[in-house]
Every structure is written in structure tokens, then in C-alpha cells.
Amino acid sequence: MSLEEAEYDRLYIMKKIIFSSFSEFILSDINSGTKNTIKKLNSEMYEAVYSKAYRYFLNYDMPESLRSDYEDIIF
């Protein structure tokens, strides 16, 4: 393994990208300009909306290992 490979965890990065995209799927009906405006005007509201979107996936039946990875990476 080279020094460059040792400096980051590829599996963690891939999981972070995949798990982070879940909220975008849920919130895709909201115009990106509207999301940016909400973030700019009220960052707490923005974070609350995304938090609800992330938590939505915890309602699904999934293996405990996946649930644990999801919670560790997102929260």
C-alpha cells in the first residue's frame, strides 16, 4: 500500500457518498435554489430538514451492520 492510499479510507468515503445521497433523493423535489436560500437564511431549519431525511431511512428493515455504519457515518 502506498502512502497516498494509507492517508484515506476508501470504504468510508464510498459509504459517506452513498449514505449522504439518500437525503438528496428524498429532498429532490425541492429546487436547489430554494435549498440554498433556506441554508443561507436559516441554517438550523436546513439542518433539521436534512436530519429528518437521514432519519427516514432508519425506519427501513436493514441488517444491523448497515444500520450501524449508517448511523456512525451520518450522525
Q: pLDDT digit string (tens) for 55-70?
A: 998 999 999 999 999 9
Angle at the Cα of 72 (from 53 to 46), degrees rounded to 5? Answer: 30
Range of the domain at 8: 3-74
Whole-number Å distance between alpha carbons of 54 and 32: 18
Closest CA relative to residue 49, chosen from 62, 41, 66: 41
Whole-number Å distance between alpha carbons of 54 and 18: 12
Structural domain count of the chain: 1
Q: pLDDT digit string (tens) for 7-29?
A: 678 899 999 999 999 888 989 99
Give the pLDDT confidence score for residue 10 in this predicted structure: 87
C-alpha gyration radius of the chain:
15
pTM here is 0.69
